[in-house]
Amino acid sequence: MTAFASIADFEVALARPRNIDGEAQEAARARQMTLTKPAGSLGRLEDIAIFFAGWQSRARPRLDRARAAIFAGNHGVAVHGVSAFPSTVTAQMVANFEAGGAAINALSAAAGLELKIVALDLDRPTADFTAGPAMTPAECLDALNAGAAVVDERIDMIVLGEMGIANSTAAAALCARSFGGTAADWVGPGTGIDTEGVARKAEVVERAVAVHAHAGRSAFETLRRVGGRETAAIAGAAVRARQLGVPVLLDGFICCAAIAPLASDNPAIADHCIAGHCSAEPGHVLLLEKLGLDPLLSLGMRLGEGSGAAVAAGVVRASLAAHDRMATFAEAAVSASL
């Protein structure tokens, strides 16, 4: 069954998101105060446990089933020489994911995540968005639903990631259309293009913003005009996760750029999301600020494929383990104060 039967269905889900369970959140906050440590001494680990409690509606949240979903797509905009790699690498890397040889295979296994790879019509790249919309409405709705399909109510967390040659150009265009600023604010080296390449990329993004300036600015229109199938899928997965109360861990610049159009429609839409890390792609700092997200890690990573979020999943696991397994002052007969 598809999550979003129509564009209107998706728009309702975006406009009327589920709220956090304040009672579960309060119960988790109260439990934190009873654990054998000075209050607040586990820093952000305490906040993460309270956040998970609120979204999972459980005072002692769990991470028994956590899933990483990596979406892959190809991009017509690649014809402008905006990536250091050819588009054929997208399918080659998907084969590598499936064979178990990529960074995400090692990192998701290390973090105890179930890994799901979703290749989205790789032999049918999106249209070049400097000439017209990247996707038809039907194609974009299909991609949103492909994303939504990886989320179900039995999972305790969804980690989102992507793979797609040239998608850092699409990501920059999504950010520029969602949050304004100049193309130069949002472009960077991606897979490793040189200064000249970055300038070319900025021109491509500027042209895209101009070509679509007349069009509606809804999240759906932005996702379909200048995004890719994998970024639409990430947006669909995030909105579906919100409907089901499943916390989301976001990866790097491209993954967060998929949320930008949603947040420009509804600034509260990323409230159930945690940014796993801050990527080395320069636009990510500004994007995180616009999304109101404070990344868990900053390791200079810029790989994508969910890798930074998978590393951050280890921090989430640590947070929930401490919250669940620590003794209380009463249980351990430790004096709680002077």
How many whole angstroms separate alpha carbon 8 and alpha carbon 221? 12
Backbone angles phi, psi at 71, to 5 degrees: -100, 140
Question: Active site includes 11?
Answer: no
Instruction: Provide the b/e sequence for 185-196 (b: ≥16 CB within 10 Å).
Output: bbbbbbbebeee
Shortest Cβ 148–ligand DMD spacing (Å): 23
163 binds ligand DMD (CB under 6 A): yes
End-to-end CA gap in the chain? 59
49-57, 204-212, 232-240, 301-309 -> range binding ligand NCN (CB under 6 A) = 301-309
Separation between Cα atoms, residue 202 and residue 336, nearest integer Å: 58
Closest CA to 267 of 7, 15, 9, 65: 15
Tell me which of 69, 270, 301, 303 binds ligand DMD, using CB under 6 A: 303
Please count the CA atoms within 13 angstroms of the CA of 66 that sit on its side-chain side. Answer: 26
Region near ligand NCN per CB under 6 A, out of 102-110, 239-247, 248-256, 264-272: 248-256
Crossing angle for the helix pair 167-179 and 195-211, to the nearest 10 degrees: 50
Binding mask 189-228 for ligand DMD (x = CB under 6 A): --x-------------------------------------
* Residues 58-97 as x/- pattern, contact with ligand NCN by CB under 6 A: -------------------------xxx------------
Stretch that binds ligand NCN, among 21-29, 45-53, 111-119, 165-173 (CB under 6 A): 165-173
Rounded to the nearest whole angstrom, what is the least distance from the CB of residue 304 to ligand NCN in the complex?
Answer: 2
Residue 254's binding partner out of ligand NCN, ligand DMD, none, with CB under 5 to 8 Å set by partner kind: ligand NCN
Contacts made by residues 178-184, CB under 8 angstroms, sequence distance 24+ = 178/222, 178/260, 178/261, 178/263, 178/264, 178/290, 179/260, 179/264, 179/287, 179/290, 181/286, 182/206, 183/209
- Round to whole Å and give the CA distance between 321 and 323: 5
> Which residue out of 162, 221, 230, 305 is catalytically annotated?
305
- Residue 185 touches which of ligand NCN, ligand DMD, none (CB < 5 to 8 A by kind)? none
Residue 312 near ligand DMD by CB under 6 A: no
List 253, 272, 305, 323, residue binding ligand DMD (CB under 6 A) = 305
In whole angstroms, the minimum distance from the beta carbon of 182 to ligand NCN comes to 18
Which of 25, 302, 313, 320 touches ligand NCN by CB under 6 A? 302
Sheet containing strand 66-72, strands side by side: 114-119, 66-72, 157-163, 248-250, 273-275
Rounded CA separation 19/244 (Å): 11
Q: Which DSSP helix (H) or strand (E) runs through 313?
A: helix 307-325
Dig out the tokens for 97 from the structure. Answer: 């994911």
Contact between 280 and ligand DMD per CB under 6 A: no
Annotated catalytic sites, by residue?
Answer: 305
Footprint of ligand DMD (CB under 6 A): 85, 89, 93, 163, 191, 303-305
Footprint of ligand NCN (CB under 6 A): 83-85, 162-169, 190-191, 251-254, 279, 281, 284, 302-305
